[in-house]
């Protein structure tokens, strides 16, 4: 399966960087969309680009433990201050997209299929 870096996702999809600038070379090989953290824990594939609107500190913990490549906050959802600091500390890239979840995931998927 094709792999792309989080940096490529950031630059080629036109997202903004919200946190985790030090971990942009992490690679992703698929997209996973879900907001319910309990589901994400059980079902998000490792190395996925996780698209969600949950910008709290628990989302960062889930990303670390489930080993997702990055979090992409869709719908312009906010990353709260504590979450931003945790993401920087734990090396979790968090990107921001103004578009809805499906459209955001689709942009990344197209990049993976390029």
Partner 1 sequence: MSQVISFHYDVPGDDFTRAGEASSSIKKVLKQVGLAPDIIRNVAIAMYEGEINMVIHAGGGQIDVDIAPDEIRMVLKDQGPGIKDISLAMQEGWSTAPDEVRSLGFGAGMGLPNMKKYTDEMDIESAVGVGTTVTMTVFAHPREEAAS
Q: Interface residues with partner 1 (CB under 8 A)?
A: 35-42, 46, 54, 56-59, 61-62, 64-67, 82, 90
Tokens representing 62 are 């889930």
Largest CA distance in the chain: 36
Q: Least Å distance between CB 78 and partner 1?
A: 15
Q: How far apart are CA 104 and CA 90, in angstroms?
A: 24
Residues 103 and 38: beta-carbon distance below 8 Å: no
Nearest residue (CB) to partner 1, 13 versus 86? 86
Q: How far apart are CA 65 and CA 42, in angstroms?
A: 11
Nearest residue (CB) to partner 1, 6 versus 60? 60
Q: Least Å distance between CB 64 and partner 1?
A: 6
Nearest residue (CB) to partner 1, 22 versus 36? 36
């Amino acid at each position: 399966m094709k792999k792309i870096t989080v940096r490529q996702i950031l630059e080629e999809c036109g997202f903004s960087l919200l946190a985790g600038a030090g971990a942009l070379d992490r690679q992703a090989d698929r997209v996973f969309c879900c907001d319910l953290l309990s589901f994400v824990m059980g079902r998000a594939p490792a190395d996925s680009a996780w698209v969600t609107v949950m910008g709290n500190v628990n989302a960062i913990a889930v990303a670390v433990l489930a080993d997702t490549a990055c979090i992409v906050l869709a719908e312009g959802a906010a990353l709260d201050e504590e979450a931003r600091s945790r993401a920087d500390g734990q090396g979790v890239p968090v990107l921001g997209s103004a578009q809805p979840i499906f459209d955001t995931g689709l942009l990344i998927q197209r990049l993976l299929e390029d």
